Amino acid sequence: MFRLIVALSVLSLALGLEDRIVNGKTASISEYPYQVSIQKYNSHFCGGSILKDDLILTAAHCLVDVIQKDEVDTITVRAGSSHWDEGGVVKNAEWISIHPNFRPQPMVYDVGLVKTIGSFVFSNLIKPIALTRVLPPLYEPVVVTGWGRLSESESNLPKTLQAVELEFLTPEKCRSPHFGYASAIMTSMICADGPYKDSCQGDSGGPLVEVDTNVQIGVVSWGLGCAKRGFPGIYCDLTDPNVVSYLRSKVPNLYNYEQ
C-alpha cells in the first residue's frame, strides 16, 4: 500500500498534477485590482473584494469569531499590493457585519462586509468590482484569486497573489451525482471546478469573477479538502435574493458604484 501511494505521488508530481490557490499562476494586483487581504495582527487570514472605496466584501465565516470576541480593532485591510505582507495601502476596520442568517453548519449565507476607517483612493492597483445580477451559464470561465494555500497539505501561505481559472457549475449541476456533495449544496451556494485546480484555505472571502464580463458572482466559502476530484470549490451565491437583500441593506447603490 505504502509503495503504491509513493508510486502514485511520484507519478502525479511527474505529470505536474500536485494539488496546489491550487495549480494557479502568480498574478499581479494590476490584473485583479479589486482583491484585498484581510488581516488580524498583520497576518493574512482571508481575502476580500472592493465594493466601494470604504467597503470590502468577504465571507461571514471569516468574521464570525472576530465579532464574537469583539476584536474589530485588530482587523486591517491591505489593498493595492500583489503581496499580502508588504506594499499597497493598509486601513483599519471601522465595523464588520455578517449576514443575519449565516450558519456555519451548513455554511449558508456565507457573506459579510468590512467597513474601513477612511477610504481607499482608486488607482490602477485599487479598483472596485461590479456585482453580477444573474448567474452565468454552466461551464462559463471564472477566475478566483487569493493568497491561500498552494495545496491542501501546505500550510505556509504564498506571499504573491495567485489566480486560477475554473468553470462555473450551477447549483443543480454541483448537486448532481457527478460530484460528491449531493444535498450539502444548499441555497446560497454555487460551485466552480477545474482539473486539479481550486481555491483553498486562506482564499476564503475572496472573489469568484466571471472572466468575460469581469463581474463578481461568488465569494470563496468552503470545500472538501482542496482540488479533490469530484469535490469542486463552493462559493456564496451573490445572486441569491437573501444575499442581495442583505447587501442592499448595508451598501448604498449596490449596483451603481462604478465611476
Q: Measuring CA to CA, which residue among 99, 77, 90 is closest to residue 221?
A: 99
Q: Which of 19, 49, 61, 193 is catalytic?
A: 61
x-or-dash pattern for ligand ARG, window 181-200, by CB under 6 A? -----------------xxx
- Binding residues for ligand ARG restricted to 122-181, rule: CB under 6 A: 148
Binding-site member from 79, 220, 236, 243 for ligand ARG (CB under 6 A): 220
Contact in structure between 96 and 111 (CB atoms under 8 Å):
no
Question: Is residue 233 within the footprint of ligand ARG (CB under 6 A)?
Answer: yes
**How far apart are CB 200 and ligand ARG at their closest, in Å?**
5
Distance from CA of residue 116 to its chain's centroid? 19
Contact in structure between 199 and 206 (CB atoms under 8 Å):
yes
Q: Which is nearer to ligand ARG, 128 or 148 (CB)?
A: 148
110 is catalytic: yes
Give the count of beta carbons closer than 10 Å to the beta carbon of residue 252: 9
Q: Which is nearer to ligand ARG, 140 or 203 (CB)?
A: 203
- Interface stretch with ligand ARG, choices 71-79, 170-178, 182-190, 217-225 (CB under 6 A): 217-225
Contact in structure between 115 and 230 (CB atoms under 8 Å):
no
Q: Which of 49, 199, 204, 221 is catalytic?
A: 204
204 is catalytic: yes
* Residue 8 identity: L
* DSSP letter assigned to residue 83: B
Question: Is residue 204 within the footprint of ligand ARG (CB under 6 A)?
Answer: yes
Alpha-carbon gap, residue 247 to 13, rounded angstroms:
43
Go through 46-63 and write b for each residue having 16 or more CB atoms within 10 A of its CB, e for each that does not: bbbbbbbbbbbbbbbbbb
Question: Is residue 37 within the footprint of ligand ARG (CB under 6 A)?
Answer: no
**How far apart are CB 194 and ligand ARG at their closest, in Å?**
10
Q: Which is nearer to ligand ARG, 81 or 199 (CB)?
A: 199
Q: Measuring CA to CA, which residue among 109, 102, 36 is closest to residue 64?
A: 102
123 is catalytic: no
Task: Tell me the catalytic residues.
Answer: 61, 110, 204
Contact residues for ligand ARG, defined by CB under 6 A: 148, 198-204, 220, 222-223, 226, 233
